[in-house]
Amino acid sequence: MTELDIRLSSLPNSTNEFDYEKFTIKSISDNWECTRKWVKDDTIHYDYLTNAYGDLEAPIADCNNVAYNAHCKTIMKVSNYMEYLKQNNEQLLYLKDWHLKRLQPNDNFYETPMLFASDWLNEFCQDLQEDDFMFVYIGPKNSWTPLHADVYSSYSWSVNVVGRKQWILFPPGEEEKLKDKLVEQEIQEFKHSDDFTAQCQLILKSIFGMDFKMFVRFICHIADKIVNLNHSQIPLNTHKKFHQNRSSRLREVQ
C-alpha cells in the first residue's frame, strides 16, 4: 500500500460521515474588491454592477429549461440582467460561466488565494490563448446547476461573495454514481473492434474535453515551464537529458 492508498482508505465512505467544514476556507474574500463593491446591504449591488459592467454581455442559463442535462442558454446585457434581478420574476435566469476577468483583464476584483496559485489548466489555456476557466456566477434564489463533472474532470475552487449556495459533493467511494451509463455502454460495444483505441480517444475528446495526445502536450507544456523556471538551479546535464527524453516521448505519441 502506498502512502496515498493509506490516506484514501482512512476517508469515510458516506457523505454523512464527511466533515466538509474541514475543507472550507472562511473569510478569504473579505478584502477583495468584489466584496467591497459588488455587495450592498447584504445583497447584490445592482447599480454598481450596472454602472461598471452594464454594457458587457454575459451568458444566461434558463434554469426552467433543461435539455440533455444542461440549461438552455442565451446572451444578455448585464444591465438587462440586473433589471431582471431587481424584479420578482417567474423566470429563473442564472448568469453563469461569465468570463469577466477575460473581458476586463485589468480589473482585479478578486485575488487568487495562495493555496490555489498553481493552476496548470488556466496557465496552459492562457499561454495558448484558448478558453480559460475563470468564471463569475450571479443568480436569484433557487437558481441551480445540473450535476456535472468539471471540464477535463479538473478540480476547481469557488468563493461565495454574497448569498448562499448549496453544493452536493460525492465523497471517495461513490464514483460509480457519477459514471455516464451511455458512455460505459458505448465503450463495451466497441471493445472488440479494430479501431477501439481511436474510438476511445474520440470519446475522451468529446466527453472529457481532452484526448491522450492533448494531455501529453499539456503535461509537457507545464513541465517545460517548470524546468525553465528552475533552469539555473538544475545541473545542465540533467536539463539536457530531460529534453532528450521528452522529445522521444512526444515522438511516440505523435
Ligand X SMILES: O=C(O)CCC(=O)C(=O)O
> Based on CB atoms, which residue is closest to ligand X, 1 or 168?
168
d(CA 164, CA 22): 18
145 vs 201, beta carbon nearer ligand X: 145
- Smallest separation, CB 218 to ligand X (Å): 19
- Asked if 27 interacts with ligand X (CB under 6 A), we say no
User: Contacts with ligand X in 98-157 (CB under 6 A)?
Assistant: 137, 145, 150, 156
Q: Which H, E and C letters describe the chain, residue by residue?
A: CCHHHHHHHCCCCCHHHCCHHHHCCCCCCCCCHHHHHCEECCEECHHHHHHHHCCCEEEEEEEEEEECCEEEEEEEEHHHHHHHHHCCCCCCEEEEEECHHHHCCCCCCCCCCHHHCCCHHHHHHHHCCCCCCCCEEECCCCCCCCCCCCHHHCCCCCCCCCCCCCCCCCCCCCHHHHCCHHHHHHHHHHCCCCCHHHHHHHHHHHHHCCCHHHHHHHHHHHHHHHHHHCHHHCCHHHHHHHHHHHHHHHHHHC
Segment 30 to 49, residues that bind ligand X, using CB under 6 A? none
Residue whose CB is less far from ligand X, 45 or 96: 96
Q: Which of residues 172-211 bind ligand X (CB under 6 A)?
A: none
Cα-Cα-Cα-Cα torsion 68, 161, 28, 57, nearest 10 degrees, comes to: 70
Which residue number, 46 or 137, has a Cβ lying nearer to ligand X? 137
Would you call 58 exposed, middle or buried from its count of C-beta atoms within 10 A (0-12, 13-18, 19+)?
Answer: buried
* Shortest Å, Cβ 81 to ligand X: 15
Indicate the residue among 144 and 242 with the shorter CB distance to ligand X.
144
In terms of CB distance, is 72 or 198 closer to ligand X? 72
Judged by CB under 6 A, how many residues of this single chain contact ligand X? 6
Q: Which is nearer to ligand X, 82 or 136 (CB)?
A: 136
Q: How far is the CB of 134 from ligand X (least distance, A)?
A: 11
Residue nearest to ligand X (CB): 145
| Shortest CB 62 distance to ligand X, Å | 14
Binding ligand X (rule: CB under 6 A), the pick from 158, 188, 238, 254 is: 158
Least separation in angstroms between CB 124 and ligand X: 18
Q: How far is the CB of 54 from ligand X (least distance, A)?
A: 23
Q: What is the binding site for ligand X (CB under 6 A)? A: 96, 137, 145, 150, 156, 158
